[in-house]
Amino acid sequence: MNVSVAEAKAKFSELIKRAEAGEEIVVTRHGKAVARVMPPEPEQELLPRIGALKGKIWIADDFDAPLDDFKDYMK
């Protein structure tokens, strides 16, 4: 659906309801598209909960030990 800026301003609440229903609205100025109102992408849950990766990640015992060639690097 295409609407002018003036029409979008006058019918903003209606356009939001249509976007919530899944419709994409293109706002135009002088016949040229300037904005798009559309529903957001579904949110993805990053982690199901705190501790979800417990036991799946490990750190080597010597993780923070100095590297063999670190002294050469610092020169």
Which letter does DSSP use for residue 46 in this model?
Answer: S
**Span 20-52, pLDDT tens digits:** 999 999 999 999 999 999 998 888 776 677 787
- Looking at residue 38, its amino acid is M
Q: Tell me the three state secondary structure of residue 20.
A: helix
**Span 4-17, pLDDT tens digits:** 999 999 999 999 99
Pairing verdict, β 2-4 and 25-29 = parallel
- Which residue segments constitute the domains of the chain, with CATH numbers given? 1-39 (3.40.1620.10)
The pLDDT assigned to 47 comes to 63
Q: Tell me the three state secondary structure of residue 74.
A: helix
Residues 3 and 23: beta-carbon distance below 8 Å: no
The pLDDT assigned to 42 comes to 83
Residues 36 and 26: beta-carbon distance below 8 Å: yes
